[in-house]
Structure 1
Amino acid sequence: MMDKNKVMLVDGMALLFRAYFSTAMSGYFRINSKGVPTNAVHGFVRHLFTAMNHYQPSHVICCWDMGSSTFRTEMFPDYKANRDAPPTELIPQFDLVKEVTSSLNIPNVGLKGYEADDCIGTLTSNLREDAEVVILTGDQDILQLLTENVSVVLLKKGYGNYAEYTAETFTEEKGITPEQMIDLKALMGDSSDNYPGVKGIGEKTALKLLQAHGTIEGLLDNLDNVTKSQREKIERDMENLRLSHQLARIYCEADVTCGLDEALLTIDRALMMEKFKEVELGKLHDMIS
């Protein structure tokens, strides 16, 4: 028996989309005998099993987005409005991947109105007292959750290639704390999530300002000590700065729970094999003991 609980929180959509696009680019959709594409599900399971074999968690929970409408789109209708609709071949795989996850006795967690990140943030703050938390994702936004007992594993190209972060290694690399990442994104905006930040302030300047003043509040209290051009940009875009700060912060008090008892990793091989056979996932079950 392991001395310490180690929970892997999986950003399901990050794995699913990565798996889909890595094969779809070459026109390969892996369609089963029922005519259902399974390329994303197949790649998702490969990513999941590879990470489970590597990190050996005692517990696993999978978190999902529940539609594109969230409290952030209510605050700012253009939030993520630059994203294309999901490809046709991916749509049937959204439900299928959750069925496959369930067949592994891994809980699926999601809440309407919130993103998977918010579920991950909430579960992280609930579980990190009793367990080491490892977050598996491809999304750098999650790095703001780094703290004691919490590490983040970012998927890189291929399978089994990871960039691993703790709060200490993040600060060494970036020169700011994980918490300051929220302020960083508020200043520079985020083109992939489609929110503005302060026009004309990029990452370099934002990092310098935060290293000098700590937080957005610290910066606003010291606007007399920044360059005239920086002050003008910040004053002109104050509303966007405040809005972007709210959008950038992962909400860690969502109404989701999943206790360690529910998340204990206990794969029933017969149940897994039956589901994998039905979906036609080939020999993937051999990857996991």
Structure 2
Amino acid sequence: MNGTHEGRERLLLVDGMALLFRAYFATSFTGSIRRTSAGIPVNGVHGFVRYFLDAVKRFGPTHVICCWDMGSTTFRTEQFSDYKGNRPDAPDDLKPQFDLVKEVVDSFGIPNVGIVGYEADDCIGTLARLHSGAADVFVLTGDHDMLQLVNERVTVVIMKKGYGNYAVYTPSFLLEERNLTPAQIIDLKGLMGDTSDNYPGVKGIGEKTALKLMQEYGTIENILDNLPQLSKSIRAKIEADLDMLHLSRDLATIRCDVPLELALDQCLWKLNRSTVETKFDELEFGSLVKMIG
């Protein structure tokens, strides 16, 4: 397995919202949503469990933590009020599943972690930094922003379309596939912005130009030191948007110093089968029992 060291602990950090949303939308587009006999929608939770258990089987963690966003107000919305301002409300059928999915995670004996004022990404970054000395860390997500966390001890596993498909990012795979280092992921976002998070970067600079600048100059500082070498139009765009360039880079930076402490021994992966089966019975997930082995 990439990025692992023989005999070391292995920590799986799960981006809970990424899995839940992916699971919900992968099934809801058909128009028929899985419900319990009492009518409670559970399609997202059902898919979450399938994705999660497949990843456990594939990456074999000794420890697991699941991280969540805690509402839409964070230090980033204080810095930039439009941050994620383009996100629609969660669909009505998804809303009751936010609490249900955490109950399922509880039944697995896994800590649910979230800190008000921060995003799940920041909790994941902090926990990765905290525990990568003692464990090989795997981050399970669909969010390419997380690639900035990659290092020799932290592997980012991006869920791809279709069930059980992953892109496994180590520093060498990131370099090979994108010709970028983890730190350059942040600078790239500073330049081009992020439409899904609703911050603009430098107006008029898209991914292609941003990548070209990163390949040529390596960092935003280096680009700014070499402004006279740039084409007139690119130089003008950057000079007109310097404040937004710095703000966008800051918004893109995952914080790894969130006030959060969780000892490794509090998140041992050790299923209590009867607890899980009780929860699965309640949600009418009979077909998933065989996945818990």
Residue in 2 that maps onto 1:140? 144
**Counterpart-to-counterpart distance in 2, 1:36 and 1:176:** 45
**SS of equivalent to 1:231:** helix
- Count how many residue pairs are aligned between Structure 1 and Structure 2: 288
Q: Quote the offset at 1:33 in angstroms.
A: 2.2
**Counterpart-to-counterpart distance in 2, 1:286 and 1:55:** 18
Residue in 2 that maps onto 1:252? 256
Any idea what the Cα deviations from partners look like across 1:117-167, whole Å, max 9, x if unmatched? 011000000011110001100110100100111111111122111111101
**Counterpart-to-counterpart distance in 2, 1:272 and 1:288:** 9
The residue identity in structure 2 corresponding to 1:171 is: L
After superposition, residues 41-52 of structure 1 pair within 5 angstroms as 41-52=45-56
1:211 is aligned, of 215, 220, 224, to 215
Residue in 2 that maps onto 1:231? 235
Any idea what the Cα deviations from partners look like across 1:230-288, whole Å, max 9, x if unmatched? 11000001111011011000011111222210111010001111111112222212102
**SS of equivalent to 1:179:** helix
Task: State the identity %.
Answer: 58
**Counterpart-to-counterpart distance in 2, 1:176 and 1:223:** 21
**SS of equivalent to 1:10:** strand
**SS of equivalent to 2:96:** helix
TM-score scaled by length of structure 1: 0.97
**SS of equivalent to 1:91:** coil
Residue in 1 that maps onto 2:100? 96
**2:39 is the counterpart of 1:35:** yes
1:241 is aligned, of 217, 240, 245, to 245
Verify the 8 A CA contact 1:110 1:256 in the aligned structure 2: no
The residue identity in structure 1 corresponding to 2:258 is: A
**Counterpart-to-counterpart distance in 2, 1:288 and 1:136:** 19
Residue in 1 that maps onto 2:179? 175
The residue identity in structure 2 corresponding to 1:116 is: A
The residue identity in structure 1 corresponding to 2:140 is: L
Residue in 2 that maps onto 1:77? 81
1:163 is aligned, of 162, 167, 188, to 167
Residue in 1 that maps onto 2:286? 282
The residue identity in structure 2 corresponding to 1:130 is: A
**Counterpart-to-counterpart distance in 1, 2:224 and 2:247:** 15
**SS of equivalent to 1:46:** helix
Residue in 2 that maps onto 1:68? 72
**Counterpart-to-counterpart distance in 1, 2:260 and 2:180:** 30
**SS of equivalent to 1:152:** strand
**Counterpart-to-counterpart distance in 1, 2:251 and 2:198:** 10
Verify the 8 A CA contact 1:11 1:116 in the aligned structure 2: yes
**2:192 is the counterpart of 1:188:** yes
**Counterpart-to-counterpart distance in 1, 2:273 and 2:104:** 13
Structure 2, unmatched stretches of 5+, are: 1-5
**Counterpart-to-counterpart distance in 2, 1:114 and 1:70:** 5
Q: Quote the offset at 1:28 in angstroms.
A: 2.1
